A and B are shown apart, each in its own frame.
Chain A
């Protein structure tokens, strides 16, 4: 059974810092991996999707990497801003399934 873990559960950094959020999964036979952002009381916003054949994806200040063999993905945020404060969730899509399996999220606070 696939399990997705995100560590740390919470992170507080000063503005301008580069940071890395971690996501690990137990079964490497994945179809895709998706990173989301969630603001308090709101829905999820898709940030990046990495196909199983890809190693990384970039969008603006965000870069997500995928290492299937080690069961890990990282989300790198460059030059963090207070507006980046949110909960970041990773989710894994398995082969032959439409379902996503979510991690519990990392709550990020960027201090001005």
Chain B
């Protein structure tokens, strides 16, 4: 079974802090994704990566950056957290050889105060 883990289930940070959210997958998937989910707005793609050190912007990349130094790990960075970044953050992974079926982690509920 594919396993996608995220470093924290709940996180509370202050405005202006630098925040790191980490995601690890154990199935050697080449593709990894970061989404945020908000009531009424659904899931929106922030960034994705199709290989180590490769990244592409999704629909809402402003205020975020990402890092993928190893194939199994994909980090989302909030350079200077703001209250409008309070949200549920979901990581996913997929492999092209399985029709890109995406597998999700448990999510991180981030609150910025």
Chain A residues at the B interface, C-beta cutoff of 8 Å: 31-32, 34, 36, 41-46, 49, 51, 89, 91, 93, 98-100, 102-105
Secondary structure class of chain A's binding surface, majority of residues: strand
Residue contact A98 to B101, C-beta cutoff 8 Å = no
Which residues of the partner chain A approach B33 to less than 8 Å between Cβ atoms? Answer: 98
B45 touches A43 (CB 8 A): no
Contact indicator B100/A98 (Cβ below 8 Å): yes
Check B58 for interface membership: any CB of A closer than 8 A: yes
Report whether over half of chain B's contact residues are helix, strand or loop; otherwise say mixed: strand
Contact A99 B101, beta carbon cutoff 8 Å: no
Write out, one digit per residue, whether chain B residues 84-113 have a CB within 8 A of any chain A CB (1) or not (0): 000010101010100111111111010000
Q: Which residue of B lies closest to A93 (CB)?
A: B100
CA distance A49 to B33 in the complex (A): 18
Q: Find chain B residues with CB under 8 A from A36 CB.
A: 104
Q: Known contacts being A44-B90, A46-B101, A49-B99, is A99 close to B45, with CB within 8 Å?
A: yes
